[in-house]
């Protein structure tokens, strides 16, 4: 075993899957496997990402996040988005665990055009990426970008996107600007699904929450 916790230079995608098969198969286990195989060859990582196996894709996405943390590289973003645009992602976790770090955070302080381009995608998971990625801005206290993206998606009928809208709107109010969230919801709450509206408002003061849910 290498000093960094991998299993050696001969590691391949099959070894990763064998190791994962001996775990509980949840996200926590996938994180442990990703850390263990953090030095996996890029080609083997790609094989996992484009696999038909859900566990393989989960580990691949976590490996991409680890790689981005270690050495930020736009090619990692491109690799992730290529798979998403090719409709390889069925599980929202593949978005929720990675979109902020792989797509959103690299854009903070720069052009947000790529996010607005993702909004126009025909693929629901890519549109989910567009809104979840804005958490990178939310955590910097920026409400403008997430609410701008949410405004483009608020009439979306796809549950995959609506559920993400509720979550990101809630976080925008908590971490960036409650006032901006309330102003946004005053105009747009009626377009959210009841579930998304409930999530978006759950941390607001009771009177405000009840008014916006009404």
pLDDT 10s digits, 93-122: 999 999 999 999 999 999 999 999 999 999
pLDDT the model gives residue 4: 35
- Rg, the chain, Cα only: 19
Under 8 Å between Cβ of 192 and 165 = yes
pLDDT the model gives residue 2: 32
pLDDT the model gives residue 73: 98
State in Å, rounded, how far the first CA of the chain is from the last one: 59
Residue 129, SS3?
helix
Under 8 Å between Cβ of 63 and 97 = no
| CA 209/CA 189 separation, integer angstroms | 11
Under 8 Å between Cβ of 34 and 66 = yes
The token pair that represents 104 in the structure block? 């959103």
| CA 21/CA 60 separation, integer angstroms | 15
Query: How does DSSP assign 99-115, residue by residue?
Result: HIIIIIGGGTTS--HHH
- The chain-wide mean pLDDT, for the chain, equals 94
Task: Note the pTM of the prediction, 2 decimals.
Answer: 0.94
* DSSP letter assigned to residue 72: -
């Amino acid at each position: 075993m290498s000093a960094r916790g991998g299993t050696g230079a001969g590691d391949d995608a099959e070894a990763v899957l064998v190791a994962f098969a001996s775990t509980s198969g949840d996200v926590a286990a996938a994180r442990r496997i990703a850390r263990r195989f953090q030095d996996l060859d890029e080609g083997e990582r790609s094989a996992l990402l484009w696999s038909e196996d859900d566990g393989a894709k989960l580990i691949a996405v976590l490996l991409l996040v680890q790689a981005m943390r270690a050495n930020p590289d736009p090619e990692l973003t491109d690799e992730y988005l290529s798979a998403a645009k090719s409709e390889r992602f069925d599980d929202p976790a593949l978005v929720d665990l990675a979109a902020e770090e792989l797509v959103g955070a690299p854009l903070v302080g720069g052009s947000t055009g790529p996010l607005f381009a993702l909004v126009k995608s025909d693929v629901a998971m890519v549109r989910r990426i567009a809104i979840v990625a804005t958490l990178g801005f939310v955590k910097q206290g920026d409400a403008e970008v997430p609410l701008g993206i949410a405004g483009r998606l608020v009439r979306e009928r796809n549950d995959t996107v609506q559920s993400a809208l509720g979550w990101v709107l809630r976080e925008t109010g908590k971490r960036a600007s409650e006032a901006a969230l309330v102003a946004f919801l005053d105009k747009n709450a009626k377009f959210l699904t009841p579930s998304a509206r409930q999530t978006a408002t759950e941390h607001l003061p009771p009177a405000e929450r009840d008014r916006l849910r009404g």
